[in-house]
């Protein structure tokens, strides 16, 4: 696997692994042993960047990574997050909380669950309007000085917030949704990242699985959070799926899958972009890793743009 550098300072595999699905969201959570098999298999395939959060589970996902990576901590880059108020036993956050004292509480608890003495990349999971971003950046900066954290990241932040945080402490990466069917970042955020030298870590680079062409409309089972999303059902789902089928035709000419072409498109947006597709299948990890070897030329990119034009997707990111 090729490597890329986030923020000019953090070397990671060109494709990471979003770990949320291991602890639920797309069905029942995997056991610690089942999750370890997936995570260790990803390491064997060259993946080094693993994305988790205290909220995933909640709390289970970090424990899954802690068990899997015991004894191989030096081979992986772990990114986790703070920013929600969580209550043990509840799957839903009770609001936002980025108060400095809470950030420290979260980091100490995450370190214990992960079984490590440092977090490689610590994201603010969502911007907290009640806590100035300058306080957040300063708190993470002090945690970095103490050695508990290596790099500071933001998630789903706008351009102005990124600038304010970066002025206090260097931001290494922004994690936000970005793919062929979610391109909101292109107007202001990506130009800001490029200006400041901040890396982009797209989550859901495969459109929550829709861009693979294996999720026809109205087929999401109950219990999967995508089942209620407009993009996946009804007339909107049929419209969106027709575009994905066109993408699959382009992929066939390259002896690839639609998902691989969608992922290769994200990779082609710049060497500072490191997507983190999520999966609980080693076969899908193999497929995603292979996408990193697909070279898309200018003609290919133009055809893909024609297949799924910017703004053509029907339905919002969330409902």
d(CA 119, CA 78) in angstroms, rounded, equals: 6
Half-sphere exposure in the Cβ direction for 9 (13 Å, CA): 13
CA angle 258, 264, 265 (to 5 degrees): 90
Q: Are 126 and 155 in contact (CB under 8 A)?
A: yes
Could you give the CA distance from residue 46 to residue 103 in angstroms, rounded to a whole number? 31
Angle between helices 282-291 and 32-44 (to 10 degrees): 30
For residue 309, give both structure tokens.
Answer: 């034009």
Catalytic residue among 56, 92, 123, 318: 56
Separation of alpha carbons 153 and 174, rounded Å = 6
- The H or E element that residue 177 is part of is strand 173-177
- C-alpha to C-alpha distance for 81 and 60, rounded to whole angstroms: 14
Decide: residue 119, CB within 10 A, 0-12 exposed, 13-18 middle, 19+ buried. buried
Helix (H, G, I), strand (E, B) or coil at 212: helix
Q: For this structure, is 56 an active site residue?
A: yes
Phi and psi (nearest 5°) for 202? -75, 125
What is the DSSP secondary-structure string of 42-102?
HHHTT--EEE--TTTTTTHHHHHHHHHTTT-GGG-EEEEEE-B---TT-SS--SB---HHH
Gap between the Cα atoms of 140 and 155, Å rounded: 14
Q: Which of the residues are catalytic?
A: 56
């Amino acid at each position: 696997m090729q490597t890329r550098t986030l923020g000019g300072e953090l070397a990671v595999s060109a494709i990471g692994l979003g770990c949320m699905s291991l602890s639920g969201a797309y069905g029942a959570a995997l056991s610690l042993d089942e999750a370890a098999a997936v995570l260790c298999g990803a390491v064997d395939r060259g993946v080094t960047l693993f994305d988790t959060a205290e909220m995933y589970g909640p709390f289970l996902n970090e424990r899954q990574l802690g068990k899997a990576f015991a004894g191989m901590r030096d081979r992986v880059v772990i990114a986790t997050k703070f920013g929600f108020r969580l209550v043990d036993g509840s799957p839903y956050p009770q609001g936002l909380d980025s108060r400095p004292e809470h950030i420290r509480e979260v980091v100490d608890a995450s370190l214990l669950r992960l079984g490590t003495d440092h977090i490689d990349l610590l994201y603010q999971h969502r911007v907290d309007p009640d806590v100035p971003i300058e306080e957040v950046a300063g708190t993470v900066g002090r945690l970095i000085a103490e050695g508990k954290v290596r790099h500071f990241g933001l998630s789903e932040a706008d351009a102005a917030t990124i600038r304010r945080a970066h002025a206090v402490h260097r931001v290494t990466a922004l994690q936000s949704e970005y793919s062929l069917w979610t391109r909101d970042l292109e107007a202001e955020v990506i130009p800001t990242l490029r200006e400041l030298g901040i890396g982009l870590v797209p989550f859901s680079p495969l459109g929550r699985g829709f861009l693979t062409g294996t999720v026809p409309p109205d087929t999401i089972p109950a219990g999967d959070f995508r089942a209620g999303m407009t993009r996946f059902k009804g007339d909107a789902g049929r419209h969106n799926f027709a575009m994905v089928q066109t993408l699959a035709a382009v992929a066939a000419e390259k002896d690839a899958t639609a998902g691989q072409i969608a992922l290769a498109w994200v990779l082609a947006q710049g060497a500072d972009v490191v997507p983190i597709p999520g999966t609980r299948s080693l076969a899908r990890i193999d497929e995603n890793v292979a996408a990193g070897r697909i070279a898309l030329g200018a003609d290919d990119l133009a055809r893909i743009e024609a297949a799924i034009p910017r703004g053509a997707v029907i339905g919002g990111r969330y409902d």
